């Protein structure tokens, strides 16, 4: 299974996802600025992977501060560390895992400073915490995979959107974790992968990582989903999540809500897979979720040998959309399966750590 990142103690090695599938190259991030840049450019992408990369970015930030500000007050250190946190937070607004991970690292640093720990001890401890976030994500995904696969019939024929796989996480994947588990259990017949315009995460990433693991996959363009549901005996739609509001409304890659509407029409269960860290209880509904808007060039020229739209065309390029909770059959996390109404189950999960 493909590896998205590797912590090297003083640097973070990232698989450059913008170059896949034609080139397999890595990027060495020696400071937090480069990590932030990689998140912005989608060299590392997918909510859990962004969270883990940002956690390592915070450690790199701390290392830099500790070497530059060794003689400064603890207060100054924390002010500077907060600036690093805010920089990383500003890179992508929709995925909640980013904020979740950087806050975790920041709060840990504050607690250790208050406990009068040395800069070196804090550095070691922050590194360990970031590694724990990374490692736990893989374990969480395996549990999500087991819960999710149990919902699928024998010879399952699945449709998925974007990439919620090993590439989007620290390993195994959420939606594709279910696919991997179903494949191991011998109950997977075919995965249909939406290409996912405009950045083609389905075509470039989902198709690639499934082929790498010899898992049966068929690529379709986004506008084929309705026809495929009608004619190809799709029995489940499974997608990841960038932020799940307290009522179950779910932000995920642009196009997801359209797929959910189609699934409802054709009576196909629509499952959302994600770690509990993706549930944002401070966000009551999908209306409060900030949707990232990206460079118009992603629609008009990126990935194409030549420009495909007229110069000067006005472009709307939201990177995510929100699927209303009423279209979601179940939300599956490492803690189990939530059915509508979702909020009581979410509250129980969040209360028992």
Could you list the active site residues? 242
**Nearest distance in Å: CB 7, ligand MRU:** 20
Q: Are strands 243-245 and 336-338 parallel, antiparallel or unpaired?
A: unpaired
The only residue of 5, 129, 260, 319 in contact with ligand MRU, by rule CB under 6 A: 319
* C-beta of 125 vs 163, nearer to ligand MRU: 163
Under the criterion CB under 6 A, does residue 46 sit at the interface with ligand MRU?
yes
Distances (CA, A) of 243 to 4, 278, 304: 21, 5, 30
**Nearest distance in Å: CB 169, ligand MRU:** 5
Asked if 31 contacts 60 with a C-beta cutoff of 8 angstroms, the reply is: yes
Under the criterion CB under 6 A, does residue 169 sit at the interface with ligand MRU?
yes
* C-beta of 46 vs 127, nearer to ligand MRU: 46
* Burial group, residue 298, by CB count within 10 angstroms (0-12, 13-18, 19+): middle
DSSP reduced 3-state for 199: coil
Strands (E), the chain: 5-7, 12-15, 26-29, 156-160, 188-194, 217-220, 236-239, 243-245, 250-253, 270-273, 279-280, 320-323, 330-333, 336-338
The only residue of 12, 129, 225, 241 in contact with ligand MRU, by rule CB under 6 A: 241
* C-beta of 181 vs 201, nearer to ligand MRU: 201
Q: List the strands of the sheet with 188-194, edge to edge.
A: 217-220, 188-194, 156-160, 236-239, 270-273, 330-333, 336-338
Q: What are 218's two structure tokens?
A: 């068929």
The contact pattern for ligand MRU, residues 182-221, with x = CB under 6 A and - = no contact, is -------------------x--------------------
The only residue of 168, 200, 229, 259 in contact with ligand MRU, by rule CB under 6 A: 168
The only residue of 4, 27, 48, 263 in contact with ligand MRU, by rule CB under 6 A: 48
d(C-alpha 68, C-alpha 80), whole Å: 11
The contact pattern for ligand MRU, residues 66-105, with x = CB under 6 A and - = no contact, is -----------------------------x----------
* C-beta of 65 vs 262, nearer to ligand MRU: 262
Under the criterion CB under 6 A, does residue 4 sit at the interface with ligand MRU?
no
Under the criterion CB under 6 A, does residue 143 sit at the interface with ligand MRU?
no
Q: What are 344's two structure tokens?
A: 């009581």
Q: What are 21's two structure tokens?
A: 């599938």
The residue range among 70-78, 113-121, 164-172, 179-187 that interacts with ligand MRU, by the rule CB under 6 A, is: 164-172
DSSP reduced 3-state for 13: strand
Q: Are strands 320-323 and 250-253 parallel, antiparallel or unpaired?
A: antiparallel
Q: How many CB atoms lie within 10 A of CB 219?
A: 17
* C-beta of 63 vs 256, nearer to ligand MRU: 256
In degrees rounded to 5, what are phi and psi of residue 157?
A: -120, 110
The residue range among 163-171, 225-233, 263-271, 340-348 that interacts with ligand MRU, by the rule CB under 6 A, is: 163-171
If phi > 0 it is left, if psi is from -120 to 50 it is alpha, else beta; for residue 112 that is alpha
Under the criterion CB under 6 A, does residue 174 sit at the interface with ligand MRU?
yes
The contact pattern for ligand MRU, residues 253-292, with x = CB under 6 A and - = no contact, is x---------------------------------------
**Nearest distance in Å: CB 256, ligand MRU:** 7
* C-beta of 122 vs 161, nearer to ligand MRU: 161
Q: Which residues of the shown chain bind ligand MRU in the complex (CB under 6 A)?
A: 42, 45-48, 95, 162, 164, 168-169, 174, 201, 240-242, 252-253, 319
């Amino acid at each position: 299974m493909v590896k998205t990142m590797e912590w090297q103690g003083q640097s973070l090695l990232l698989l450059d996802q913008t170059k896949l599938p034609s080139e397999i190259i890595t990027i060495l991030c020696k400071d937090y600025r480069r990590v932030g840049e990689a998140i912005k450019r989608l060299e590392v992408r997918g909510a859990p992977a962004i969270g883990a990369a940002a956690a390592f970015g915070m450690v790199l930030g701390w290392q830099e501060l500790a070497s530059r500000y060794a003689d400064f007050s603890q207060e100054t250190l924390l002010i500077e560390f907060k600036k690093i946190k805010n920089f990383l937070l500003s890179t992508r607004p929709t995925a909640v895992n980013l904020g979740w991970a950087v806050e975790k690292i920041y709060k840990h640093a504050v607690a250790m400073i208050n406990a009068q720990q040395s800069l070196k001890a804090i550095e070691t401890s922050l590194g360990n915490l970031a590694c724990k976030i990374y490692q736990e994500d893989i374990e969480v995904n395996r549990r999500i995979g087991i819960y999710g696969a149990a919902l699928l019939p024998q010879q399952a024929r699945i449709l998925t959107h974007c990439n919620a796989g090993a590439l989007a996480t620290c390993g195994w994947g959420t939606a594709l974790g279910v696919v991997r588990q179903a494949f191991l259990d011998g109950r997977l017949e075919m995965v249909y992968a939406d290409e996912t315009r405009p950045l083609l995460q389905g075509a470039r990433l989902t198709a690639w990582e499934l082929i790498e693991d010899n898992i049966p996959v068929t690529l379709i363009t986004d506008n084929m989903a309705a026809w495929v549901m009608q004619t190809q005996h799709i029995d489940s739609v499974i997608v990841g999540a960038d932020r799940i509001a307290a009522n179950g409304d779910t932000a995920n890659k642009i196009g997801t809500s359209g797929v959910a509407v189609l699934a409802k029409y054709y009576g196909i269960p629509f499952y959302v897979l994600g770690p509990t860290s993706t549930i944002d209880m401070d966000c009551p509904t999908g209306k409060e979720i900030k949707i990232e808007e990206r460079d118009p060039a992603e629609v008009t020229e990126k990935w194409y040998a030549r420009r495909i739209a007229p110069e000067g065309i006005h472009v709307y390029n939201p990177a995510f959309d929100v699927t209303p909770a009423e279209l979601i059959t179940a939300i599956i996390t490492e803690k189990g399966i939530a059915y509508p109404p979702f909020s009581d189950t979410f509250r129980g999960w969040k209360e028992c750590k």
